[in-house]
Amino acid sequence: MFFAFFILSSIYISKVNGWGVTGHALVAKLAQTMLTKESEKFVRNYLPWYTIGNLSMLASWPDIIVSPNTNPIDYLNWLWSRELHYVNVPDWTCNYDRNRDCNWTSRQRCVDGAIQNYTKQLADINQDNIQRQEALKFLVHFIGDIHQPLHAGFVGDKGGNLIRGNFFDKPTNLHALWDQLMIERRILLDFQNDENKYYDYLFNLLQTTYAHNISQWSKCPSDEESHYVACSTVWINENIELNCAYIYRDEDNKPMNISYEFRLGETYYNTRIGILEQRLIQGSVRLSGVINKIVKLQKHEHHRKKNNDYSFVSYVILFVENLINNY
């Protein structure tokens, strides 16, 4: 029953925030290829049984639950999570400042805090299984979202949603163009509208063009971040740099804004599609990296806990022995 509902949901869902269904599925499917054996086992444990550990099947779940079309029964219960998909920075401020833009330590909600929040929950062996399952489903999606540049866009135009115009003569807004339209065009024109062929192409890029970038992309370059499992501020800053240099600029390199209708086509598409693909691939590297790291940490945690249990037992034995000896 739920299975059927889920499948229907994934077909009908289309206009949502975040990479569209396609983008999220691609990121998750690429990530799946970089999971360790242990991580594979881990995700099979923490995803619903019918997915058989397939990350991409649930990659759009956080979008599905907040929409009345796809979750008419209890979307209201999830509305609080809508803010977790993005973060905004002041207009044309070309960097991210956690204190200024999303102070999630004081409960402000945004994708930065969400990723920190759910990595912590997923890694915490004291959380119950339902909580950790939810954390994993959120993480798969949000690490995708945080690599869509306009999910760290400017506050004045709501991450490009309020900047309207035409893309190949089709009316749209800048945000939707990056969520979906460019990917759709790419798959339609260059891959016979076959998502699987496009996946194969991206997988090949990952293994060739970007093979040398993977280890660098997996690291947290800043000291401040290195104690986190996910370097979300670094990823947000990558977006914002792209936003200022390319995403928010039209074909003549002029800044785009809400009071001016853009006309974008071949030039914008040709010079930006490579950026988009790189972001999909980076997202997958970061997603698999975070899961692998959590699984590794958790193994140590289990060992530590076990050792603690043993030491508690030996402590009790010692204590009893002492008692006996003293009598």
Ligand X SMILES: *[C@@H]1O[C@H](CO)[C@@H](O)[C@H](O)[C@H]1NC(C)=O
Q: Is 62 in the site for ligand X (CB under 6 A)?
A: no
Q: Which of residues 179-238 bind Zn ion (CB under 5 A)?
A: none
Number of residues in contact with Zn ion under rule CB under 5 A: 3
Q: Which of 211, 215, 229 is nearest to 292 (CA)?
A: 229
Sign of torsion, CA 90 95 100 101? positive
Kindly list the distances between the CA atom of residue 46 and the CA atoms of 71, 130, 223, in Å, as whole numbers in the listed order.
Answer: 22, 8, 31
Q: What angle do CA 204, 63, 29 make, to 5 degrees?
A: 20
Number of H-type helices and E-type strands within the chain: 13, 3
Closest CB 192 distance from Zn ion, rounded Å: 28
Q: Is 101 in the site for Zn ion (CB under 5 A)?
A: no
* 279, interface contact from Zn ion, ligand X, none, CB < 5-8 Å by kind: none
Among 134, 145, 157, 238, binds Zn ion (CB under 5 A): 145
Q: Is 57 in the site for ligand X (CB under 6 A)?
A: yes
* 166, interface contact from Zn ion, ligand X, none, CB < 5-8 Å by kind: none
Closest CB 152 distance from Zn ion, rounded Å: 12
Q: Is 56 in the site for ligand X (CB under 6 A)?
A: yes
Q: Which of residues 236-255 bind ligand X (CB under 6 A)?
A: 254-255
Q: Which of 279, 138, 291 is nearest to 229 (CA)?
A: 291
Beta strands of the chain (E only): which ranges?
164-167, 170-173, 262-264
The answer to whether the beta carbons of residues 239 and 101 sit under 8 Å apart is no
Number of residues in contact with ligand X under rule CB under 6 A: 23
Token pair of 100, please? 């200024």
- Across-strand partners of 154? 89
Q: Is 85 in the site for Zn ion (CB under 5 A)?
A: yes
Q: Which of 128, 165, 127, 157 is nearest to 261 (CA)?
A: 165
Q: Is 37 in the site for ligand X (CB under 6 A)?
A: no
Q: Is 257 in the site for ligand X (CB under 6 A)?
A: yes
Q: Is 159 in the site for Zn ion (CB under 5 A)?
A: no
Among 19, 96, 104, 154, binds ligand X (CB under 6 A): 104
* 326, interface contact from Zn ion, ligand X, none, CB < 5-8 Å by kind: none
Q: Is 23 in the site for Zn ion (CB under 5 A)?
A: no
Closest CB 73 distance from Zn ion, rounded Å: 20
Among 38, 48, 54, 191, binds ligand X (CB under 6 A): 54
Which residue is nearest to ligand X, using beta carbons? 106
Hey, what long-range contacts does 186-189 have (CB within 8 A, 24 or more apart)? Answer: 186/273, 187/22
Q: Is 99 in the site for ligand X (CB under 6 A)?
A: yes
The answer to whether the beta carbons of residues 250 and 267 sit under 8 Å apart is no
CB within 8 Å of 69: residues ≥ 6 apart? 12, 13
Among 18, 20, 62, 113, binds ligand X (CB under 6 A): 113
Binding site for ligand X (CB under 6 A): 29, 32, 54, 56-57, 84, 99, 103-107, 109, 113-114, 117, 212-213, 254-255, 257, 259-260
